[in-house]
A and B are shown apart, each in its own frame.
Chain A
Amino acid sequence: MKLIMCDRPIQVNIRDNSDIKYIDLSSLKIANCTGCFGCWTRTPGKCVMRDDATRVYPYIAASDTVLYVSRVKYGGYDSVMKRMLERAIPVQQAFIRIFKNETHHVQRAVVPKRATIVAYGDIDAEERALFEKLVARNASNMSFESHEVVFTPEAELDDCVKKIVERWNG
Chain B
Amino acid sequence: MERIMIINGSPRAPKSNSKRYAELFSRYCPVETDYYNLTKRNHRQLCELMAGYSDVLFVFPLYADALPVGFLDFLKELEANPPARKPMVSILINCGFLEYSQNEIAIEMMHIFCRKNDYRVGSILELGSGEAILGTPFKYVAVRAIKRLARSVAHGEHRTIKATMPLSKRLFIWASTYYWTAFGRKFGVSKSRMQTMQIEDGRLPDLPLAGE
Residues on the A chain within 8 Å of B61, using CB: 35
If A12-B211, A34-B12, A54-B205 touch, whether A79 touches B69 (CB-CB below 8 Å) is yes
If A96-B173, A103-B98 touch, whether A130 touches B109 (CB-CB below 8 Å) is yes
B66 touches A134 (CB 8 A): yes
A82 touches B116 (CB 8 A): no
Residues on the B chain within 8 Å of A34, using CB: 11-12
0/1 interface trace, chain A 100-129, chain B, CB 8 Å (1 if under): 011110101110000000000000001100
A109 touches B11 (CB 8 A): no
A55 CB to closest chain B CB (Å) equals 4
0/1 interface trace, chain A 44-76, chain B, CB 8 Å (1 if under): 111000001011111101100000000001111
B54 on interface, CB distance cutoff 8 Å: no
Whole-angstrom distance between the alpha carbons of A161 and B171 in the complex?
A: 45
Dominant secondary structure at the A interface: mixed
- Number of interface residues, chain A, beta carbon within 8 A: 71
Residues on the A chain within 8 Å of B12, using CB: 34-36
B198 touches A45 (CB 8 A): yes
Residue in chain A with minimal CB distance to B186: A41
Residue in chain A with minimal CB distance to B188: A42
B65 touches A141 (CB 8 A): yes
If A41-B194, A45-B196, A94-B194 touch, whether A59 touches B109 (CB-CB below 8 Å) is no
Whole-angstrom distance between the alpha carbons of A165 and B127 in the complex?
A: 41
Pairs A-B, 9 closest by C-beta atoms:
A22-B211, A94-B180, A35-B12, A41-B184, A76-B66, A35-B11, A55-B205, A14-B211, A74-B109
| Residues of chain B whose beta carbon lies under 8 Å from any beta carbon of chain A | 10-12, 16, 61, 63-70, 72-73, 75-76, 96-99, 102, 105, 108-110, 112-113, 115-116, 169-170, 172-173, 176-177, 180, 183-184, 186-187, 189, 193-200, 202-212
| Residues of chain A whose beta carbon lies under 8 Å from any beta carbon of chain B | 4, 11-15, 20-24, 27-28, 32-37, 40-42, 44-46, 52, 54-59, 61-62, 73-79, 82-83, 85-86, 88-91, 93-98, 101-104, 106, 108-110, 126-127, 130, 133-134, 137-138, 141
